[in-house]
Structure formats: C-alpha cells, structure tokens
Structure 1
Amino acid sequence: MSRGYFADFGEMKKHGGKIAMANKIIIPAMAATKFPALEVNFSDGSSLKLPITSGGNGSSADKLDVPKASLLCLSFRGSSQAMINSWSKPFLDEFCSSNETQLFEVSLIESWLLRRNLIKKLLLRIMKKPSPDDKKNVLQRQIVYSFGDHYYFRKELNILNLLTGYVFLLDKFGRIRWQGFGSATPEEVSSLLACTALLLEEA
C-alpha cells in the first residue's frame, strides 16, 4: 500500500493501467462486499457521504433518492481521466433518462498541501464542473472531490496503483456488484451496461 510513483509508473508501462479485466457477470448479492464510506465535496463546497444507500448514510438524501444502481469512478491522478471517460460516457449515454441510476466521478486528493483548508476552498472554486450538456439528462454526471489520507480506504478496495482509474458498480445497499480498471474495452462496456440493467430489475 506504500508503493512509490516509479513502481506505479513501471506497472503502467507494462499494461497501460489494465491491472485486471472487468467482471464479465454481475457479482451475486450474497458474495458482494460493501463499498467503504467516503466523504466527498462538490465544487460549491457542499459535502456528501458515498455511497448513498437504502441503509442510510448520514446524508440528507431520503429513501426516494436512493438509486438502484450507482457507478462510482475513482481517480487519484488527472492522467487517468481519459480512462474514467471510457466508462462514464457510455454509462451516461445508455441511462441518461433513468432516475434510478447515479454517476459519480470522484477525484481523490491526498497531498497534505492541497488538503489545507484555505487551499482546498480555492481549489474547489476552480475545479472541473459538469458540462452544460449533462444538465439536459435525468441522470447527472456528478463530479466530486475527496481530500485526505485514503490509505485505509484504498486498502479496503485493494487499490495499489494510483495512476490508473477504478470503476465500481454498486447496488442500492452500497454493495460492489461489478468493477473495472483502466480503459474500457467494448466488451467491458457491454458487461457494465448489462449488469446495470440487471440491478435496475432487482426488487
């Protein structure tokens, strides 16, 4: 968990961020693990605790707001944004009219300097915001930021390489039912969309 940049970079040169292939089928509910709680900030400074679940998470969301399927895309470096886009764009295109899905792109910021209150506030003001086109959809691409030391969060999810992107599909109870890494292949996108459709059919 305490690997350095050069170890991550060397790994990236070998596989381009594809540390593993995505799930081909949905993970059964009984075998699924919970996604660890993560506090995030929107660019306006407001905060939210992810994932939003029917079990309650301390957020202001009521049970009507709980999505049946949530796609959480995690990046630790700006260089992985293209990887995240390869998953989030097809998901948004497919479920743009669904009010039972949610999409979060989470940038995790661990630098002690950038976590300082004043700098954090300044950063949030200039951070990337959803494009105007996103607002036309029922499904909104929500861009959020998490500041802090994420060592134990990463440990729970077995995240080692900070240069690649990580994608998790969660059910309404916050359980991980599917996951992907790096850049999406066409087959992996099909798997993500099919597994999401299955979650939307679950009671």
Structure 2
Amino acid sequence: MNRGYFADMKEFKDHGGKIAAASKTLIPAVSAMKFPVLAVTSSNGKSMKLPITSNCNEVNKESLDVPKVTLVCLSFRASSQEMISSWSKPFIESFGDRKDLKLFEVSFIDKWLLGLAPIKKLLLRVLQKPNNSENNVLQRQIVYSFGDHYHFRKQMKVLNLLTGYILLLDKSGRIRWQGFGTATPEEVSQLLSCTSLLLKDQ
C-alpha cells in the first residue's frame, strides 16, 4: 500500500493499466464485497455518499431513487481518465434511456491543500464540465473525493494508482462485477451483459 510512483509506473509499462482481466460473469451476491461508504462532492458543491442504497441517508434526505444497478468508475490519477471513458461511453449508449441505473465517475484528490474550503470551492468551479449526455435519462455524474484515501484503497485492494477501476454495484451496494484499465470490445460486451442480468435479478 505504501509503494511509490515508480513502482506503479514500472507495472503500468508492463501491462498498460490492465492489472487483471474483467470479470466474465457476475460475482454471486453471497460472496460479493460491499462497496465501502465514500463521501464525494459534485462540481456544483453538492455532497453525498456512495453507494446509494435503501438504507443510506442520502435517499431519505434528497428523495433519491435507489438504482437497481450503479456503475462506479474510480480514477486516482489523470492518466486513467481515457480508460474510464472506454467503459462509461458504451454503458451510456446501451442504457441511456434507463431510469433505474446510475453512473458515477469518481476522481480522487488527495492533496490536503486542495481540500481546504476556499481552494476546494474554486477547484470545483474550474472542474465543472458541460453535460454531454443531456439527451439521455442516464447521466454521467462526475464527482470528486477529497482527502486521505488510504483506508478506502486498503479495503478495495487498490495498489496501482495509475489505472482505472470499474465496479458494477447492485441495489444493496455489493460489487457484482469488476474491470480494470482500458476496456477491450469483449470486456465491454461482458459489462453490458452482466448489467442486463443484474437488472433482471434486482
């Protein structure tokens, strides 16, 4: 967990961010790990916690609908943004008309200075991006998590910070499928197939 940038870089050169192949099938619910509660902030300054489940406070406070399926894309460094898009774009193209799914792209900002209130507010304003999926019911929600993420990474077994991590959650917040790095056409097909299966099961 404490290894440095150069170790990540060497590993990245070896496999291009593909630290493992994506899941071919859904992880059974009984053996699936729960996604750890993660505080995030959207570019408009609104704070919330992931995952959104029936017993989370966000649903009661904000009257949010509990999604049947949530795709969470984790990015610890800017280098993984294109990797994330290789999964999220086909996901929106396939399920853009569904109201019972959510898609979150989470960027982690661990520099303590950037988490200070006035700087954080300014940074969020700079990071605000236009919504390119306005014709879709399913919106790509870009959110940010500030602070020290050591314990989150430890729980999630995140070692290499240069790659992207893709997680498919069920309505109880359990991780039912995982992908890494840049998506291959076969892996995109597996993601879409597993999402459809999960929607039928929920």
Q: TM-score band, normalised by the shorter chain?
A: over 0.9
Any idea what the Cα deviations from partners look like across 1:49-103, whole Å, max 9, x if unmatched? 000012x2221344x6001100000001111100000000010100000011100
> How much has 1:24 moved relative to structure 2?
0.2
- Percent identity between matched residues is 64
Distance 2:199 2:145 in 1: 28
- Compute the TM-score of the two structures, normalised by the length of structure 1: 0.96
Question: Is this contact kept in 2: 1:130–1:143, CA < 8 A?
Answer: no
Which amino acid is 1:97 matched to?
Answer: D
Query: Which residue of structure 2 aligns with residue 156 of structure 1?
Result: 155
Q: RMSD between aligned alpha carbons? A: 1.1
Please give the alpha-carbon distance, in whole angstroms, between the structure 2 residues aligned to 1:192 and 1:125. Answer: 32
Matched, 1:104 2:84: no
- Give the corresponding residue for 1:6: 6
How many residues matched?
A: 200
**What does the per-residue CA deviation read over 1:22-64, in whole Å, with 9 as the maximum and x for residues that have no partner?**
000001111111000000001111101000012x2221344x6
Match in the other structure for 1:30: 30
**Residues 70 and 101 in structure 1, CA contact (< 8 A), matched pair in contact too:** yes
- SS of 2:111 mapped into structure 1: coil
Aligned-partner Cα distance in 2 for 1:122–1:189: 36
Where does 1:174-193 land on structure 2 (aligned, <5 Å)? Answer: 174-193=173-192
Query: What is the rounded CA distance, in whole Å, between the counterparts of 1:118 and 1:141 in structure 2?
Result: 26
Residue in structure 2 matched with residue 73 of structure 1 by the alignment: 73
Corresponding letter in the other structure for 1:198: L
Measure how far apart 1:130 and its partner are. 4.4
Q: C-alpha displacement at 1:118, in angstroms?
A: 1.5
Aligned-partner Cα distance in 2 for 1:106–1:15: 23
Question: How far apart, CA to CA, are the structure 2 residues paired with 1:111 and 1:85?
Answer: 24
Could you tell me how far apart the structure 2 residues matched to 1:12 and 1:128 are? 29
Aligned to 2:94: 94
Q: Distance in 1 between matches of 2:14 and 2:81?
A: 19
SS at match of 1:30: helix
Match for residue 83 of structure 1? 83
Letter in 1 for 2:165: Y
Matched, 1:120 2:120: yes
Check conservation: 1:52, 1:61, Cα contact below 8 A.
Answer: no
What letter is aligned with 1:105? Answer: E
> Could you tell me how far apart the structure 1 residues matched to 2:196 and 2:115 are?
38
TM-score (norm 2): 0.96
Whether contact under 8 Å (2:52, 2:67) holds in the other structure is yes
SS across alignment from 1:126: helix
1:8 is matched by which residue type in structure 2? D
AA partner of residue 181 (structure 2): G
CA distance in 2, matches of 1:70, 1:124: 23
Give the Cα separation in 2 of the matches to 1:67 and 1:12: 34
What SS does the aligned partner of 2:102 have?
Answer: strand
Q: Could you tell me whether the CA contact under 8 Å between 1:130 and 1:141 is conserved in 2?
A: no
Asked whether the equivalents of residues 44 and 128 of structure 2 are also in contact (C-alpha less than 8 Å), the reply is no
Partner secondary structure for residue 134 of structure 1? coil
Counterpart of 1:9 in structure 2: which amino acid? M
Provide, for residues 93-118 of structure 1, a one-character-per-residue CA deviation record: whole Å limited to 9, x for no partner. 00000011100000011012212222
